[in-house]
Amino acid sequence: MPIKYVPYVPEPVKGQAVLSFNRVLKYQGADDINATLQRGMPLYEMETKETVGNNTDGNLVIRGECVSACAYLKEKGIQVDLVYIDPPFASGADYAKQVYIRRNPKVAEAIDKAEQELDVDELKAFEEKMYGDVWDKEKYLNWMYENLLAIKSVMNETASIYVHLDWHIGHYVKILLDELFGEDNFQSEIIWRRMTPSGFKGKYGIGHSHDMLFWYSKGENCVYNPIMIPYSQEYIDQRFSKVDENGRHFKDEKIGTATTQETIDRLRNEGRIYVTSSGTLRIKHYLDEAEGIALDDTWTDINAVNSQADERIDYATQKPEPLLERIIKASSNAGMVVADFFGGSGVTAAVAKKLGRRFITSDIGINSIQTMRDRLVSIGAAFDVLEIKDGVSLYRNPVQTMDAIRKIIPGLKNEDGLDSFWEGSITTTQDGMVPVYVPNLMDSSSKLLDEVMINRIIHQAIPDLPAGVKKVLVYYIDITDKEAIERFIAEDDSTLVKIDLQDLKPLLDDVVFGDEVEYHIEPATDTLLGGYSVVIGRFLSDRVMQKIQEFNLKASLNASKKPYKPIEISDEGLELIEYLSLDCTAASGPWHSDSEIKIDKLGYVIKNGTKSKSFWDGRITSEQKPLRLKIRNICGDETEWKVEE
Residues 406-435: tens digit of each pLDDT: 777 888 888 888 988 898 999 999 999 999
Tell me what the pLDDT averaged over the chain comes to: 84
Bigger pLDDT: 246 vs 10: 246
Write b or e for each residue in 311-350: b if 16 or more Cβ atoms lie within 10 A of its Cβ, otherwise e.
eebebebbbbbebbbbbbebbbeeebbbbbbbbbbbbbbb
Across the range 603-614, mean pLDDT stands at 91
**Is-contact 165 132, C-beta < 8 A?**
no
> Of 537, 519, 513, whose CA–CA distance to 637 is shortest?
513
pLDDT at 18: 44
Report the distance separating Cα 218 and Cα 158, nearest Å.
Answer: 6
Number of other CB atoms surrounding residue 173 within 10 Å = 23
Across the range 9-19, mean pLDDT stands at 53
Say how many Å lie between the first and final Cα of the chain, rounded: 40
pLDDT at 561: 60
Across the range 217-242, mean pLDDT stands at 89
Given a cut of 80, whether residue 503 has pLDDT beyond it is yes
Bigger pLDDT: 70 vs 644: 70
Given a cut of 50, whether residue 605 has pLDDT beyond it is yes
Given a cut of 90, whether residue 574 has pLDDT beyond it is yes
585 in the Ramachandran plot: left (φ > 0), alpha (ψ -120 to 50) or beta? alpha
Given a cut of 90, whether residue 392 has pLDDT beyond it is no
The boundaries of every CATH 3.40.50.150 domain in the chain are 4-92+133-188+215-226+314-388
The answer to whether the Cα torsion of 395, 398, 400, 406 is positive or negative is: positive
Given a cut of 70, whether residue 14 has pLDDT beyond it is no
With cut-offs at 50, 70 and 90, classify the pLDDT of residue 122: very low
The boundaries of every CATH 3.40.1340 domain in the chain are 400-510
Report the distance separating Cα 115 and Cα 603, nearest Å.
Answer: 12
Bigger pLDDT: 12 vs 267: 267
With cut-offs at 50, 70 and 90, classify the pLDDT of residue 10: low
Architecture of domain 400-510: 3-Layer(aba) Sandwich (3.40)
Q: Could you tell me which CATH number the domain at 4-92+133-188+215-226+314-388 has?
A: 3.40.50.150
- Of 29-38, 171-180, 248-257, least confident by mean pLDDT is 29-38
- Of 84-98, 114-128, 332-346, least confident by mean pLDDT is 114-128
What pTM does this model have?
0.78
pLDDT at 120: 39
> Of 545, 544, 537, whose CA–CA distance to 572 is shortest?
537
